[in-house]
Amino acid sequence: MRDVPWQIRIAEKSIKKRDKLRLLDRWLACDPSRTALDIGCAQGILSWYLRKKGGAWTSADQDMANLKAARELLGKGLVQMSEGILPFRSGAFDLLTCLD
């Protein structure tokens, strides 16, 4: 249990987060070759789970405070985006998620 970050241990107590995680497990297959983007990553909790499913993930959010919190949890692969503008070239990702 010590390997699991404190943010994740708290999130696992949330009924809504557990429901989302069940849906992710059911519908999102593991794929280590995938290049994926999580838009609106907030503090990075769901991004942490998505990254465990495999692939090269980028997590993006508009709010710098969210990204700072996410960096504590995720370390790298974080991008700040502007409203309505995704700073990525077309076709850069195999998969896109927007969960919250």
Alpha helices (H) along the chain: 6-11, 15-27, 45-52, 64-74
Q: Say if residues 50 and 38 touch (Cβ distance below 8 Å).
A: yes
Q: Which amino acid is at 15?
A: I
Domains present along the chain, CATH in parentheses: 6-97 (3.40.50.150)
Angle among Cα 71, 24, 9 to the nearest 5 degrees reads 50
pLDDT tens for residues 67-90? 999 999 999 999 999 887 888 999
Confidence of residue 38 (pLDDT cuts 50, 70, 90): very high
C-alpha–C-alpha distance, residues 9 and 82, integer Å: 31
pLDDT tens for residues 24-37? 889 988 899 999 99
